[in-house]
A and B are shown apart, each in its own frame.
Chain A
């Protein structure tokens, strides 16, 4: 085998694999949305699953609060620190509030928030549903005349759609506040300037953009993570594999959708 044919076969292998991954990903997202929409179509079918929405909101929302607050606080703090030293070079430290606020509200809040929620709650959704499949609990529900799609998938999707925007908003506020603490209290930026520039530079469009991202991410996380669990191979490795896949696919999905939504808003 000569040199160029080695290179060629390597390239063919690389692009072949890339293509296969891409197709596989698209196919999975398609299947996931079909399953998610089927579950969502049961939203208004009796019996009403109110109690299970609350239970899932508890597991997902309340359970992710601490991690969201911690991530939000450190994100805001590091942004203030980095932003301050960059802006100080141009003598425009007063723009710190606007810088911190804009990056958090438009970008970091939704994306980092979504990542933390995927890691904290998404993976556990997939693992939980996967284990229910392995141990035939979903079949048991089915035999007890309870639709697992309505009882297991639906509340989790609804809960992510509701919880993600709420958690992201909390992330935003905590980030802005901790940026204020570092910028104003530690680095001595004028305290009026921080808030005034923040308010002046951030428009409602920026805030809507962040919320739309959060809602879309919530949908996507809910659909992909429930789908991966529901379709996981009924073995121990199957559940492990689909949990990993759920985290990878939804994280990459967040980044791709983030780019698409951002391009629409600019």
Chain B
């Protein structure tokens, strides 16, 4: 079980996350959704320990991730996987070596065993036979599926997905969403999915957390989110440009900018 307690993160003076409490349920798929700049990727990185919070704690069971020794952290990470937004395949290695990488690094398994395991993972994502290709030769969707296979290589208990469907065509996005759902259910994995893809998020998640400007504005099972009467939630779900969530963040009025700011066009002289 993973818990974020009063988590906050500031980049300079800008708050990416305000003292947020979050609870990730074991063996379930949790989707963290929100618009761009809502703090969802920051939250994911904090939970994965890729970033230190400005305040608060991340609890794995009764261990504090932020106060943990590097050795213990790496021990935990051997049972974690992460699918990055831009796949993050190691571009000096071909597909096979990328998927086999965690196995080579952390197991003493025989190469023939590793080969079988890699073949299984690649079969699962439908890319068997592409072992010799380099990451630069793959399309975005293929790279993401290879990255998925790599994230699953160690059969992790906890997997983080950062925008798994963004930038993909609808079919590839659907393939990835289905893969996340199937493998999570089958292996009873704890999955944390960060996405702004409302459709995919609601379809695969057991639990949805909706973020806006660094705060949680709604939380619950997908059906409850769909039926929420919070205007902000409805605006986000239906992608309406008008609503309580402003489209722009200007603080000064447009006319002020035009008339008084030095260096801009003046309407009167």
Contacts and interface: CB of A to CB of B under 8 A. Distances in A.
User: Real complex partners, A and B?
Assistant: yes
Interface of A: 131, 135-137, 139-147
B88 A137 contact: yes
Given A135-B88, A135-B91, A136-B85, A144 B50 contact: no
Contacts of A142: 50, 77
Given A137-B88, A137-B90, A142-B50, A147 B81 contact: no
Interface of B: 48, 50, 70, 74-75, 77-78, 80-82, 84-86, 88-91, 101-102, 105-106, 160
Contacts of B74: 145-147
A144 B80 CA distance: 8
Contact of B82 (A131, A140, A146): A140
A139 B101 contact: no
Majority secondary structure of chain B interface residues (helix, strand, loop or mixed): mixed
Contact of B50 (A137, A143, A145, A146): A143
Contacts of B48: 143
A141 B50 CA distance: 11
B156 to A, nearest CB: 10
B99 to A, nearest CB: 11
Instruction: Indicate the member of A131, A136, A141, A145 with the most B CB atoms within 10 Å.
Output: A145
Nearest to B153: A144
Nearest to A42: B70
B15 to A, nearest CB: 20
A143 B80 contact: yes
Closest 7 CB pairs of A and B: A140-B88, A136-B88, A145-B74, A145-B77, A143-B82, A136-B84, A144-B102
A38 to B, nearest CB: 12
A135 B75 CA distance: 24
Contacts of A147: 70, 74
B91 A146 contact: no
B84 A144 contact: no
A140 B102 contact: no
A155 to B, nearest CB: 13
A142 B52 CA distance: 14
Contacts of B80: 143
Contacts of A137: 88-91
11 contacts: A136-B86, A137-B89, A140-B82, A140-B88, A140-B89, A142-B77, A144-B106, A145-B75, A145-B77, A145-B102, A145-B106
Nearest to B45: A139
A139 B160 CA distance: 12
Nearest to B102: A144
Contacts of B102: 144-145
A145 B78 contact: yes
A135 B50 CA distance: 15
Nearest to B90: A137
Contacts of B101: 144
Nearest to A128: B92
A80 B81 CA distance: 61
A139 B81 CA distance: 12
Given A139-B50, A140-B82, A145 B105 contact: yes
